[in-house]
Amino acid sequence: MIPRLPGPDSSLRFLRDGYRFVSRGADAVGADAFRTRLAGRPVTCIRGRAASRLFYEGDRFGRAGAMPVSVMHLLQDEGSVQAMTGHGHHVRKAMFLGMMLPEGIERVRRAFDDEWRAGVARWSRVPEVRLHDELVEVLMRTACRWVGIPVDDDEVPRIGGDIADMVERAASIGPVNWAARARRMRAERWARDVVRRARDGRLPVAVGSPLQDLVTHVDADGSPLTIEAAGVELLNLVRPTVAVARFIDFALHALHAHPRWARAFAAGDESDLRGFVQEVRRFYPFFPVIAGTVSRPFDGLGGSFAPGDWVMLDLFGTNRDPRLWHDPESFDPTRFRDWDGDPNTLIPQGGGDAASGHRCPGEDITIALVEEAVRLATRETDMTLPPQDLRISLRRFPALPRSRVRVAVHGLRTG
């Protein structure tokens, strides 16, 4: 039997413990699963490798009703691939996976390189910039170039800010969330307009571009995407790309906190670059949990699950699980030199298999972008971090360094 966390409701405890809520609860009951209530709703919280495998493999879970409406409307909205299950999900997911092949990843990397260098020219004209905010624009431009959308210098900052706000305010409630949802609706109008113009010939569509894939895609039932669904999925390409700004912030934080890695990369030693990026993704807080609703009855983790049961998988805690990671509270990129690649141990963007499950299909693009950012920051850009508050609160969803990473940029290095 799965133990129950003491107390009638754990909402305040979740706010108090933040990213460590599930792990602390699991430690308290001595199990990898516990039952409680959040905002009055019964939920089972789970953590660890076996929990990730249970959650992502075997089509046991759906996404209907898994997230509060306020979060759903900001991050996914109705009709998106993340909200689908079964054969329909696999067909829609295959479209996204086809966009993430090596040649597509290389296009993203080259676009980001160009946009970073253009950004340096702007940033070097002022004493310092808040890098997170600047990265939003850089990554919005990168996403547009990759997808095949003409970059509008007036439109990019506004739409990029709208999209970044979806992630920034995902855990908010009340007026702050309502304002973010209004910005989401404005971004959706922009995305629908892009789709309409692409379909009626007013917007040139490059052969082989993600935009072409999107506007010509046929779903499992043989029908093309509606304008509304295509607009939502267009945002599902752009929004996660913009959200990579958070991982880049954390990478800069790690380079500052562990300067030996900055020195190694500046000298051209990239033998541990992939490990460094993976360790950033493991160590730093991205999203705390992922939720699902049970699709069919099954037994696991010491208990029984019935259709409709609400379940939350601990992403952050699984990435810090001492049974899976030696000294998990330490930042150590060398741990990935002999990592076995188990998809249910490193799960900042979900677990399981990307092709058959709900793991983020853009994970390889995330890794490529953060790797390129580390190269550019350490080898190509003359920049320093002035004194600032770089503490990261694990009670803030989603987390960021308090200063949002202020940098003084002096220009591109020569020679």
Query: Residue 335's closest CA among 381, 277, 391?
Result: 277
How would you write 94-140 as a 3-class SS string?
Answer: HHHHHHCCHHHHHHHHHHHHHHHHHHHHHHCCCCCEEHHHHHHHHHH
Residue 331 φ/ψ, nearest 5 degrees: -90, 110
Residue 150 φ/ψ, nearest 5 degrees: -55, 135
Whether residue 45 is annotated as binding a ligand: the answer is no
Look-up: residue for tokens 């699950």? 305
Q: Which two tokens stand for residue 387?
A: 């004194």
Query: Cα dihedral sign for 1, 325, 101, 184?
Result: positive
Rounded Cα gap, residues 194 and 149, in angstroms: 8
Angle at 242 between CA 241 and CA 245, to 5 degrees: 105
Dihedral, 327, 328, 329, 334 alpha carbons, nearest 10: 80
Binding site membership: which residues? 360
Binding site membership for heme: which residues? 360
